Structures are given as structure tokens and as C-alpha cells.
């Protein structure tokens, strides 16, 4: 099976590459903007591909002729999306349309990574059948991506996820676990929201679910997240406790006080039974995930 991955320099993308490289049944083409930022460059192919450039996208697809596309690339900074809706829509809607259109030529199985933010957070935890109601430009762009995928006529799969965390080789963006850890290590005060609830997801677990979806040619929507739902501040406290850091630098704040540009859903969390049953999905607890993160950080320092 030939799998083309978009966004391979991102957090999820890197984990999919590490999990799929040298997979006996898969030929992987990792694609991203600019040079490959993954340290290990053996065991898979890499092509530069800006998903907003239809000519480059068509060229890369023509050369590789994928059976399956895992579309993990996106503009993921929710506040930046709110402040720059045209840039967000270009990356998350127009580029997805580009990818769908070339995927039709090769009749690819199309796997789209989406978000819990498609929901308004008034009735979490959410099942795959629940009705979306996006609150932000980012959330709306991802839901429009989902709608295009569903109407594409391709065999499609949408994997929605929640707060991804993990260690990368070299990524532009940090994530909640590394940000809290690094800030507290540097004794920086951080303000953390008390009244939003999420299920943090270990990037390796999500990568495995995406790979299972590809190998099993799964169709439909799947909710894939960690199994524990907690407030964002509890997550920060648990990270601090795990790494033995001083929690007094964590300052509680409400969503109303923080007043971020993009509105966030108050309480999400997923019912993950479908993924458990059909993708053999079995996520690590936050504590188990932090053990994996700590081990990877220690190996990086060697
Ligand atoms: N992170 C989360 O907590 C979260 C939660 C729910 C859903 N998701 C979804 O999960 C997926 C993966 O997220 P992630 O955490 O891996 O995000 P990430 O680390 O921000 O990675 C996204 C990648 O997309 C790439 N990208 C953006 N525009 C591109 C373009 N025009 N051409 C090629 N690549 C482009 C970025 O490239 P550069 O590195 O060059 O900027 C980045 O490497 C996304 O679809 C996101 O919407 C994420």
C-alpha cells in the first residue's frame, strides 16, 4: 500500500512517519512545507509539498500515485486563524479541496484529521453522531474540510482528536505538555484556564489510530482521544506533579478573564468506543503518556 502523508513536519505527522517507516506492507511518502525536519530520514521517501500549491500537489501525486492519503497538515493555531481568517481558510479549506481533487484521479482512500472544536462544548463528551456547532474560524474551517471530504465521492475517513501532546525532533509549535514543563522549569508564571475540559491525546496513540484506519481502509467518522477528561488546569497540575515542578507558577484564570481571540468549547471529551472496537484503539493514560514523553526527552539529551 502506498500512503501519502501531508504535514509530516508537524507533531502528528512526525509520529506517523516514525511508526510507518520500514513498515513491511507500506511505502510511505512524507510531505511537508520546506525541508524535512525529521531527524531520521531513512526508511521512507520525502517530498516537499505545500498543500496550498495545486501545481506542486498534482506533481507530487503524479509521481507517487498514492492508494491512501493521510491529511494531517493544517493551520492549527486557533487564535492566529481567528485573526487571519483568509490565511486559515486557504490552508484548511482550499488546500483540502486541492488534495481531494487530485485524490480523485488515483481513487485514494482519504483520511482527514479533524478536531473536537467542531463541537460547541455544551454537551461533551461527544459521539461521532453528535451535531457539530463550531465556535471559531479554525473550527469552522475544519468542519468545512470534513464536509468536503464527506461529499468527495472518495472512500473517506475522518479522525477527530483533542489536545495532542508529545515530543518532536524539531517542530515549529510546542504543545501543552512541553510548554507547561519548560515554563515551570524556567520558573515562568503561566496562566491556565480553569473552566475548559479536554481529553489529552498522546501523539503516538493518535498516529497508531491513523495507521490502523489506513491499513483497515476504515470509513466514516472516528473519535480518537485519551480516555480521561480533565480541566486544562488539572492537566497542567498533573504535568507539574509528574515532573516534580513548582505548581505555584500556575495561575488559574477563567475563559472570560483570559479573553482569547478565538472562542473555545467549554467541555469536549470523546466517546472512543467506535475507535476501540474497529481500530483496536487503546490509548495510554495521561500518566503513562508522560512516562513516554519523559523517556523520549531523556533519550534526546543523550
Ligand atoms: N494539536 C492539537 O492539539 C490538535 C487538536 C485537534 C485536532 N488537531 C488536528 O490534528 C492535525 C495535526 O495537528 P498537529 O498537532 O500535528 O499540528 P502541527 O504540529 O501544527 O502540524 C501541522 C503541520 O501542518 C503543516 N502545514 C500547514 N500549512 C501547510 C501547507 N500549506 N503545506 C504543507 N504543510 C502545511 C505545518 O507546517 P509547518 O511546520 O511548516 O508550519 C505543520 O507541520 C491537524 O489537522 C489539526 O487540525 C490538532
Give the tens place of pLDDT for each residue, 247-286: 999 999 999 999 999 999 999 999 999 999 999 999 999 9
Residue 154 Cβ < 6 Å to ligand 1: no
Does a structural domain hold residue 34?
A: yes
Mind listing the pLDDT tens digit for each residue in 210-245?
A: 999 999 999 999 999 999 999 999 999 999 999 999
- Confidence category of residue 172, pLDDT binned at 50, 70, 90: low
> Taking each helix axis from N to C terminus, what angle separates 232-242 and 286-301, rounded to the nearest 10 degrees?
50
- The rounded Å distance from CA 12 to ligand 1 centre is 8
Rounded to 10°, the helix 95-105/137-150 angle is 20
Asked if residue 52 is part of any domain, the answer here is yes
Domain of residue 155, CATH code = 3.40.50.720
pTM over 0.95: yes
Atom 12 (ligand 1) nearest CA? 72
Does any domain span residue 158? Answer: yes
- Asked if residue 296 belongs to a domain, the reply is no
Minimal-distance CA residue to ligand 1 atom 19: 10
Mean pLDDT calculated for residue range 192-219:
98
pLDDT at 171 over 90: no
Question: What are residue 158's DSSP bridge partners?
Answer: 112, 221
Q: Dihedral through CA 129, CA 288, CA 40, CA 172, nearest 10? A: 70
**Does residue 246 fall inside a structural domain?**
no
Nearest CA to ligand 1 atom 6: 115
Per the structure, the complete domain to which residue 210 belongs is given by: 2-173+200-227+268-284
Mean pLDDT of the chain: 97
Q: How far apart are CA 45 and CA 8, in angstroms?
A: 11
Residue 209 inside a domain? The answer is yes
Q: Taking residues 191-215, what's their average pLDDT?
A: 98
Residue linked to cell 512517519: 17
The confidence band for 116, taking pLDDT boundaries of 50, 70 and 90, is very high
The predicted structure's pLDDT at residue 301: 80
pLDDT at 300: 85
Q: Which residue has the higher pLDDT, 172 or 137?
A: 137
Is residue 203 predicted with pLDDT exceeding 90?
yes
The whole-number pLDDT of residue 93 equals 98
User: How many domains, in total, are found in the chain?
Assistant: 1
Residues 6+ apart with CB under 8 A from 295: none
Task: Examine residue 77 and state whether it is found in any structural domain, yes or no.
Answer: yes
Amino acid at each position: 500500500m502506498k500512503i501519502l502523508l501531508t504535514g509530516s513536519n508537524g507533531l502528528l505527522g512526525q509520529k506517523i512517519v516514525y511508526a510507518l517507516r520500514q513498515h513491511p506492507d507500506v511505502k510511505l511518502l512524507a510531505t511537508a512545507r520546506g525541508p524535512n525536519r525529521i531527524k531520521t530520514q531513512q526508511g521512507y521517501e520525502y517530498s516537499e509539498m505545500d498543500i496550498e500549491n495545486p501545481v506542486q500537489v498534482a506533481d507530487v501525486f503524479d509521481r507517487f500515485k498514492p492508494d491512501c492519503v493521510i491529511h494531517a497538515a493544517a493551520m492549527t493555531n486557533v487564535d492566529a486563524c481567528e485573526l487571519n481568517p483568509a490565511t486559515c481558510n486557504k490552508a484548511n479549506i482550499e488546500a483540502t479541496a486541492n488534495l481531494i481533487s487530485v485524490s480523485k484521479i488515483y481513487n485514494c482512500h482519504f483520511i482527514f484529521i479533524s478536531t473536537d472544536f467542531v463541537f460547541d462544548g455544551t454537551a461533551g463528551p461527544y459521539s461521532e453522531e453528535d451535531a457539530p456547532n463550531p465556535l471559531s474560524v479554525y473550527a469552522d474551517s475544519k468542519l468545512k474540510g470534513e464536509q468536503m471530504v464527506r461529499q468527495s465521492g472518495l472512500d473517506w475517513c475522518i479522525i477527530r482528536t483533542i489536545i495532542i501532546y508529545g515530543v518532536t525532533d524539531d517542530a515549529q509549535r510546542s504543545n501543552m505538555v512541553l510548554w507547561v514543563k519548560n515554563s515551570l522549569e524556567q520558573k515562568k508564571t503561566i496562566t491556565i484556564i480553569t473552566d475548559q475540559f479536554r481529553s489529552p491525546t498522546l501523539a503516538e496513540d493518535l498516529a497508531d489510530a491513523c495507521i490502523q484506519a489506513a491499513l483497515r481502509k476504515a470509513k466514516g467518522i472516528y473519535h480518537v482521544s485519551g480516555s480521561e477528561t480533565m480541566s486544562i488546569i488539572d492537566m497542567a497540575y498533573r504535568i507539574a506533579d509528574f515532573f516534580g515542578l513548582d505548581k505555584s507558577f500556575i495561575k488559574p484564570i477563567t475563559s472570560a478573564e483570559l479573553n482569547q481571540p478565538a472562542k473555545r468549547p467549554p467541555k469536549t471529551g470523546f466517546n472512543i468506543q467506535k475507535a476501540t472496537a474497529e481500530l483496536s484503539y487503546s490509548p495510554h493514560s495521561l500518566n503513562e503518556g508522560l512516562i513516554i514523553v519523559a523517556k523520549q526527552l531523556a533519550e534526546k539529551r543523550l
